[in-house]
Amino acid sequence: MVDDHDERETLLLRGSLDMCVLAILDREPLHTYAVVERLGEHGFETGYGTVYPLVTRLRRAGLLDQRTEAGSGPARNVLSLTPAGRESLRRWSAQWRRSVARVSTVLETTPDRGRRHVG
């Protein structure tokens, strides 16, 4: 049997990372590196090279605002949700919960529950 764990993980991540980034930014405005750190705190093994293009795409779609904050070091671009971003997060979260419930129902009602049948 071929171990497709990494490929499966990538597919699942691709379908959920946008929503997770929006959820993190719904809690507080952050710069992109801090978003990567928060994702890591929740067990996501993703880096700046993945998240930066994602937040750029979300910003261009009108779901994120970006403002420049000056501080003691270099200026940082801080991201926050727009009203459209909050609405998308609400809809995507509801859709995610429905999808997870459907998958869970199938997994729980399948007699085999993913075990290989020998015989």
Q: Label residue 113 by pLDDT band (50, 70, 90).
A: low
- Give the percent of the chain with pLDDT over 90: 66
Say what the pTM is.
0.82
End-to-end CA distance of the chain: 17
What is the rounded average pLDDT for all residues in the chain? 88
Kindly state the helix (H) or strand (E) to which residue 86 belongs, with its residue range. Answer: helix 83-109
Fold of 14-109: Arc Repressor Mutant, subunit A (1.10.10)
- CA–CA gap between residue 9 and residue 80 (Å, rounded): 27
Tens-digit pLDDT profile for residues 16-43 = 999 999 999 999 999 999 999 999 999 9
- CA–CA gap between residue 81 and residue 20 (Å, rounded): 12
For residue 15, give the 3-state DSSP assignment: helix
Q: For the chain, how big is the Rg over CA atoms in Å? A: 18
Contact 10, 50 (CB under 8 A): no
